[in-house]
Structures are given as C-alpha cells and as structure tokens.
A and B are shown apart, each in its own frame.
Chain A
Amino acid sequence: MTWAPKHIPEILAAAGQHLVLSLLSVLIGGIIAVALGIVCARRPRLYAFALTITGIIFVIPSLALFALMIPFLGLGMKPALVGLSSYCLLILLRNVVTGLRGVPEDILDAADGMGYGPWQRLVRIELPLALPLILSGIRIALVTVIGIATVAAFIDAGGLGTIILMGIDQNYPEKILVGGLLTAFIATFFDVLLSRTEKAIVRWRSD
C-alpha cells in the first residue's frame, strides 16, 4: 500500500461520484418504475409489453448500452445516468407490480366501500402495502447498479471505475484492488442498510 494513503482525497472524490451516480440512477429508475408500475398493475397486456422492453434493456451488456448512448448524449455523467437507470428498470418494475398486485382483494373492496377515492386508495393503502417489495427491489437494483457503475468509467462518467481502469492501464494492482474493494464495500453497506429498513417497515407483519 503505497499509492492509496497519498491519494485519499482523490479516492474519496471517486467514491463520492460513484455514490451520486448510483443513487441518482436508482432514484430516476425508481420514479419511472413506480409510475409505470401503477399504470401497468391492473393492465396485464401493457405490463407484458413493459416487461419485454425492460427485459431487452436488461440483457444488453452494460458496456454496449453505454456505447449506444454516446451518439445521442456524448460522454460523461449524462449517458451513464440514462444507461444505469434504464438498466435497473426491469428489477424495479417487477417488484412494484408484484407488490401492488399482492394487495388482497378484500382490502381493496373494503377501501372502495368505505369511500377512498382511487388516488387516496393508491397512496394510503396500495403503495404502503406494496412498500416492502418496492424496497427490496430498490435494494437489489442499487446493489446491481453500484457494481455496474464501475463500467461507466469507460464513457468518462467518473466513479471508482476510473481508479480500476487506471490500475488496468498502468498495470498497477493496488489501484484495481482499492477501487474494487471500495465498490464492494459500498454495495454491501447499502444491502445491509436497506435490508434493515425493510424489516423495520414490515413490523406490522410480525406478531
């Protein structure tokens, strides 16, 4: 360890960029998935179509996906954000829809009969009940995106991938190791954090 101790601000900056990139991507993807999920949940044909599209995006290799963005968005953060957020759409959409569809019929009937409007029912009953599944979708998406975001260094989006890439170019194993371990650490951190949040939120499920 000779490089890392002398370059801590640089490493922290890359880690910060990495975090912003990942969190922002999942946030954008999450907003789109929730909106899309609400529209799709009670429309099976539309849902099948949305799953196909998001599924196709999901199977495109990440490097190819970023490369495809370059002609439209150039290099840097913008194409990386678009790529990463579309990448996690499949995971998020599936969990949002499964969560919404999992709300029992009798609960919806009671809500309608009591005088909840469609919007009130969605916000106060359906989304809260789907929340555990939506959260677990966010967790899986975030962990996935934190890993894939390293590849975004290829299109000049910054993040810990830059350090790894530097290590590969310069044949400098310590840089590869620092970038890789830090990425793994961030991913694990969010995995644990969100798992705990899920458990805290579903406390009504246990006796």
Chain B
Amino acid sequence: MITMEHVTKRYGEGAAASVDDLSIEVPEGVTVALVGPSGCGKTTTMRMINRLIDPTEGRIVVNGADVRSVDPVIFRRHIGYVIQQVGLFPHMTIAQNVGAVPKLLGWSADRIAKRNDELMQLVGLDPEMLRRYPRQLSGGQRQRVGVARALAADPPVLLMDEPFGAIDPIARARLQEEFRQILRRVRKTVVLVTHDLDEAIRLGDRLAIMRDGKIVQYDTPDAILSHPADEFVENFVGLDRALKRLSLFTVETAMTKGAPNGKAGKVAAGTNLRDALALMAADNSEVLAVTDASGAVLGQLKRDAIFAV
C-alpha cells in the first residue's frame, strides 16, 4: 500500500540527513506507528508520504502510484490527515469542517450531509454538534471531529501526527481505545507518528522504532518488546518492556479451566495481563478468578500462566 525505497531528506545542500536512506513497506489495512525520540525524523517521514515534504532522494509509492507523478493537491484529498492541534477551521461549523474534503471533491450537499451524520455516529458524537463551531467543543470532542474530518471522503490511507498528544491522559486512553475500535471497522492503512511508546503499542499493528533518520527496528509490538534489536531499542522501550508486552494480551489468552480453590480476587476476561498482574501483586495472590461481564466465573488465571505468555 505504502512503499518507501531508500528515501533521504536533507534540508538544504550539505545538511545532515533528517531521514537517511529509509525503506519501509506498509501493507494494506495495517497501522504502523513511527515512534522515536524527537528529532528522529518520524514526522518528516510521514509528511513525505502526502508530499507536504518532498524527499531529496528515493521513491515513495502509494497505492501503486509514484507520489512524484501525481498532483500533490489532488492526491492529498485521498489521504486522511490528522494533526495534534487538530487544526479545525474556527470560522466553519463542525458540518463544514467535516465536509471540507468532500466539498473539495465536488460532492453534492445532500451526499455531504448524509456522510456527516454517518461520521458523527462513527466517532461517537451527537449529530446536533454539526451546527456548532469548534470553539464550542471540548478538546476531546474536537479531536473526534478531527478524525471524522480525516475519514470524510473514505480515504484508503490515514496519516496521523501525534493525534492524541494535546489531550489529558484520562481522556487520551479512552480516545485511543475508541480509535482502535473505529480503525477495526473502517480498515485503513494508517501511518501514526508518536513519541509515546504506550500509544504506539496500543494503536500500532507494527512499530517502526526510529533513530537519527533511520528505522532501527520494524516489527510487531510483541516482537519488539520481547526481542529488542539493539541497545538503543532496549533503552527506548524501557526496563518494564516485559510488563508493556503483557499489556498486549488479555486475561482470556492465559486463562485455564476451573475455578480457583478457596478465596481469590476477581478479574474481568477483557482486562490486559499487565493489569491482572498488578491485581495479583496488590492481593499478594497467585491466582485470580476470571469473570465475564455479568460476574459469572469463566475460569482461573494463574501467575505462572502469565509469565509463560
């Protein structure tokens, strides 16, 4: 879907490369998180995909077309774009904001209005909001509108630059979870830029860890957390990488049959293993009863089973 081949970007003649001979392939329907410390070239890499920045060398192919061969303005209308500050147009209503790209594409007013309603439902906002102005919305609501706006013309590719960076931590976790659900429904090829490893793990099917304009490791979160490619990645993912890895799995994956003997704490089947382990540590226990939404016991979770994941 997106292929970058030996892409280099230098700002100015003889300057150090911000992106250095980078190659990556993002398959269709996959979410890739470009993650790394600031200045590692992740944003530049993303912005070259929709030609907001042109590479100095190398080739970028999106949907089978070399991006150099297309009109960048028309091309960008078919790529969703979400940024940290959202960038909603303050003089336009939410309806006009969400319908901006469809309007550029020449859709009829009826079609835009219908699509707006669908999108509000998708991102979990009251269609009533369509008549408001961005200033009348909370930060979280604005970010949802930003996502709706990016999805408006149903683009196959979505680019997101620190999309949840400006939102408070509690709302952020909830939005990330909702966004994951949305992505599951719409099946987009997503390139997400973030400096937040937890966000990358939560949203990315694959992570590309970047440093000094190069990709150091490109793999699934599970593989990166269990086998960091080098010392840099190991330091970047942190001492608690084993715990972070546990957050990728739910209690269900390590659950065994039968109920625990005697008194035991309870954990919901959908909880991740990291939180389950935290519960065990709090109880000083080695086993938890796994329950479904109604509270019925489904099985048990043993500490050894967590460590064996």
Contact = CB atoms under 8 A, between A and B. Distances in A.
Interface in A87-140: 104, 106-107, 109-117, 120, 125, 128-129
Interface string B116-134: 0000000000000000011
Nearest to A107: B87
Given A107-B89, A112-B76, A129-B90, A120 B83 contact: no
A97 B78 CA distance: 32
Interface residues of A, number: 20
B52 A114 contact: no
A113 B76 contact: yes
Interface in A185-207: 204-207
A106 B85 contact: yes
A151 B134 CA distance: 47
B104 A207 contact: no
B247 interface: no
Contact of B73 (A107, A116, A206): A116
Nearest to B73: A117
- Residue from A106, A112, A113 having most chain B Cβ neighbours under 10 A: A113
Interface in B115-174: 133-136, 149, 159
Contacts of A129: 89-91
Interface residues of B, number: 28
A111 B86 CA distance: 11
Contacts of A113: 50, 52, 76, 79, 81, 83, 159
A125 B52 CA distance: 18
A134 B101 CA distance: 27
Interface string B52-92: 10000000000000000000011111110101111111110
A125 B89 contact: yes
A115 to B, nearest CB: 3
- Residue from A109, A114, A206 having most chain B Cβ neighbours under 10 A: A114
Given A106-B83, A207-B135, A114 B101 contact: yes
Interface string B171-210: 0000000000000000000000000000000000000000
B104 A109 contact: no
Contact of A204 (B76, B133, B149): B133
B268 interface: no
A120 B104 contact: yes
A109 B135 contact: no
Contacts of B269: none
A207 B136 contact: yes
Contact of A115 (B76, B85, B133): B76
A110 B152 CA distance: 14
B91 A114 contact: no
A114 B104 contact: yes
Interface string B27-60: 0000000000000000000000010100000000
A204 B87 contact: no
A125 B76 CA distance: 17
B224 interface: no
Nearest to B74: A115
Interface string A3-46: 00000000000000000000000000000000000000000000
11 contacts: A106-B84, A107-B89, A110-B87, A113-B50, A113-B79, A113-B81, A120-B104, A128-B91, A129-B90, A204-B91, A205-B90
Interface of B: 50, 52, 73-79, 81, 83-91, 100-101, 104, 133-136, 149, 159
Interface of A: 104, 106-107, 109-117, 120, 125, 128-129, 204-207
Which 3 A-B pairs give the minimum distances between C-beta atoms?
A110-B87, A115-B77, A113-B81
Given A106-B85, A106-B87, A107-B89, 5 more contacts: A110-B81, A112-B76, A113-B52, A115-B101, A204-B135
